[in-house]
Amino acid sequence: MNPLDLLKSRFAEALEGIAENPAEYLEQIRVSQNPKFGDYQANMAMPLAKKIGKNPRETAALIVEKLRWDDILDPPEIAGPGFINLRFKTETLEKALLDTLADERLGVAKVETPRTYVLDYSAPNVAKPMHVGHIRSTMIGNALDKILRFAGHNVVSDNHIGDWGTQFGMIIYGWRHFLDKDAYEKNPVEELARLYRLVRQKADADPAVMTEVLGETSKLHHGDAENLRLWESFLPNCRTEIDRVYKRLGVGFDHTLGESFYNDRLGPLTEKLRSSGQARESQGALCIFLEGEEVPMLIQKKDGAFLYATTDLATLEYRVETFRPDAVLYVVDFRQSLHFKQLFKAVRQLGIVDEKTELVHVKFGTVLGDDGKPFKTRSGETVGLESLLDEAERRALEVVTANDKDGALSEAERLETARVIGIGALVYADLSQNRDSDYVFSFDKMLAMNGNTATYMQYAFARIRSIFAKGKVDPEKLRRGALETAQGGGTPLKLTEPAERALAIELLKFSDAVHSVLKDYRPNMLTAYLFDLAGRYSAFFEKCPVLKAEDEAVRRSRLLLCDRTAETIRLGLSLLGIGTVEKM
């Protein structure tokens, strides 16, 4: 049961014949800010009253008169200038929670009309190691991938890696002039990264070096046998290194179609656009002149070289032809906003993508250091992603060891727990931010045992599981027994205390939290919900003894609430790409 969706459907019925467009008023149904006024509050009477020529309280009374409420709600109350206070019947909440016992989705219904999404995320340049800047695209994209699939949509995830650009021209130039053969044999990727950094520095200082780099890139793109041979020898090592990082993060893709995959499509595409008049020359370069825009979109340079924009056009053309998507999402940082604005306008104007297909730049801010600047090492270099993962696990191991005073965990268990906590801390710290915002990177904050962190959420899960271990209670057996009792007409779950009721309401909001992520592709909607749920559980645990409850029926009922909370945290974290542990 999704309480908000249920209320919206009932109010949609009630507003028929009262409001010209009932749907526009349904967003006025919100969670009550104070439990004494009910669970939810409907505030549509005030704006609607102006439209129908009645005062707000009269309008509220008219809505309530038509509202079908008696099977799920206590009598609605009209308060103040026309607020409608709504409180679910206790038995409605009890039944809804019991229904989740046999449902691995915990009451989250799949969408009635699934869409096909192409999801473009991560997309590193494979010629150099992944760095801290890749964490945001990778983890936001991975969370959206999991949540979209869970919601019932069809998802095609595509890692559009940079495997064909100027960075390979730099490496080929470096290979010819500065290669350390012994270093390459010992660690190919590290030596290629060193060559890239070295040549980039030299190219920045000497335009002649950059000219030679571009020459090597051009030779590669035009099929030079030796440059292709080198490129083909570099690529497997680069891909292996990146895939190893993805494995640590628990990230996978349906496709990894890099820039090189589209190379053969660029010439025919630009020629088609030129011959059709959709692209025209300007100062020797080929451009698409966008309606209403002063700056054209450059797709081929004067020297015949193609650009990222050309590849992106070809990529979208291929995706539309191959996958027939209803939506294409690009999880890319905010600095590419102008590029995607131009790209989306161009593909509409060219007829590559129709108006029905949703195109979204899921943009995000920057990871900052304590100085408020992009996060760097002390030497000023970009922080490598793998070294970041290593440090997260090392620090998490310190936390785990400090909390395992009784030595309950074996060495292997400590290491695995540290892995799950360390990686989870990095991922959650990123996803819990409003994606539009920059955020300051801090291991201390992300590994804190309190506050809105993965560590706090994982600890809440482990603490609940410890209750079952201490009480020697098998959760699955508890669920089966509750279902058998309910089928026999009994009431295995009773919400008699305010803290029990508040926790039940919060648990039933899980469905709305999952679907709210997809309204504007924001995973932090789910992290905020999980944090609120953990807070509700803490209040419940403080006020309502579980193992020492006054009788066995109350004990079992409260254990069911504990179980539902643990399972909701586990499923919620898994949708974000974060694991849980039984002991911390």
**What is d(CA 129, CA 245) in angstroms, rounded to the nearest whole number?**
10
**Are the C-beta atoms of residues 78 and 42 closer than 8 Å to each other?**
no
Residue 404's pLDDT is what?
A: 83
Whether pLDDT at 397 is above 80 = yes
Residue among 121, 549, 151, 573 nearest 361 (CA): 121
373: CB partners within 8 A, 6+ apart:
none
Q: Residue 382: pLDDT above 80?
A: no
The SS3 assignment for 157 reads strand
Alpha helices in 488-577 (DSSP H): 498-508, 510-520, 524-543, 552-575
The first and second tokens of residue 174, run together, are 């470096």
pLDDT digits (tens, 9 = 90+) for 127-150: 888 888 899 999 999 999 999 999
Helix 3-15 vs helix 510-520: angle between axes, to the nearest 10 degrees? 80
Strands (DSSP E) along 153-233, which ranges? 154-158
The full set of domains in the chain, from first to last, is 3-88 (3.30.1360.70), 116-367 (3.40.50.620), 385-575 (1.10.730.10)
Chain mean pLDDT for the chain: 94
Element (H, E) at 63: helix 56-66
Distance from C-alpha of 289 to C-alpha of 342, rounded to nearest angstrom: 10
Q: Which two tokens stand for residue 328?
A: 């294409």
The confidence score (pLDDT) of residue 91 equals 96
* Mean pLDDT, residues 346-369: 95
Among 289-293, 543-547, 558-562, name the one with the lowest average pLDDT.
Answer: 289-293
Amino acid at 31: V
pLDDT in tens, 183-232: 999 988 889 989 999 999 999 999 999 999 999 998 998 899 999 999 99
Strand pairing category for 327-331 and 116-120: parallel
Q: Whole-model pTM?
A: 0.94
Give burial (CB, 10 Å; 0-12/13-18/19+) of 410.
exposed
Return the ∠ at Cα 118 (arms to 115 and 124), rounded to 5°. 155
Residue 128 sits at φ, ψ, to 5 deg, of -145, 155
**pLDDT for 405-448, tens place per residue?**
888 889 999 999 999 999 999 999 999 999 999 999 888 898 88
- pLDDT of 10 over the 80 cut: yes
Give the pLDDT confidence of 546-556 residue by residue, as tens digits. 999 999 999 99
φ, ψ dihedrals at 13, nearest 5°: -65, -45
Q: Say what the pLDDT of residue 221 is.
A: 86
- DSSP helix/strand/coil, 453: coil
Q: Look at the alpha carbons of 452, 4, 361, 148 in this order and tell me if their dihedral is positive or negative.
A: positive
Q: At 204, which helix (H) or strand (E)?
A: helix 188-205
Cα–Cα distance measured from residue 492 to residue 5, given in angstroms and rounded to the nearest whole number:
26
Average pLDDT (502-506) is 97
Which pair of tokens denotes residue 422?
A: 């360390």
Name, in order, each residue with C-beta under 8 angstroms of 55's C-beta and a sequence gap of 6 or more: 49, 82
